[in-house]
Structure 1
Amino acid sequence: MKKVFISMTLVVAGAMCMSFVSDITGIWKGTVKVPSGEDVEITYHLKAQGEKLTGVITAATGDEIDIQEGQIKGNDFSFKLDFGSNNVLQAKGKLYNDSIVVKSQIKSYTLQNTFRRVTESK
């Protein structure tokens, strides 16, 4: 009986840790300096579905682009954004408690930015 209790406790504790660690679902905002030197506000609308990451990225201008090939492994995630004309951004990131850090590359240009979780106002 003691072994069963310990096993169940470990399973529940592990599941709780995973739910806290990989809760990337939500809205994240930050500012990105684009190659032209401008600062652009970006909003990530992310959703975790197991190890799959989906969502949309929105610029302050209202332009949206869907995340492609999104993957999650623990606190690490990756995705692609296809801007057309052979312009594909490759992104890798890490989830922290209240922020995500995204390192992305498009052609020879590399960016690293931090985005903060925001709550939706109703």
Structure 2
Amino acid sequence: MASVLIVDDEDQIRTLMRAALERAGFQVQEAADGKEALACYRQQPFDLVIMDILMPDQDGLESIIQLRREFPAVKVIAITGGSDMIGVLNFLEVARMLGARRTLQKPFDLAALVEAAESELVH
């Protein structure tokens, strides 16, 4: 059974994603921010990380950088509901440049999340 770490500061979002992924057969753990996610991943690497971008304390972009630095083979799907821009790039484009393999804009269909997770774990 593949393991997934969901990182999002919104409890309800984590709960919805967890339920969908568990129904699809994944083993799921949650983290509320980037610092907690890094601590979890260091204790037990996961097959996939689903990382929100806009979070307090340590945002998803910084967390992706740290994860990729420490664990170059980590598989990350970046998600965000924010439409903010960094210069002419949006957050999801930046996440891809930093190593996220896929991106999803919130709100997304939970079936699309499961499909993205399954696809990443096949490759």
Which of the two has higher C-alpha Rg? 1
Instruction: Return the structure number with greater helix share.
Output: 2
Shared fold (TM-score greater than 0.5)?
no
**TM-score normalised by the chain length of structure 1:** 0.27
Structure with the largest fraction of strand:
1
Give the structure, 1 or 2, with the largest relative contact order (CA under 8 Å, sep 6 or more): 2
- TM-score, structure 2 normalization: 0.27
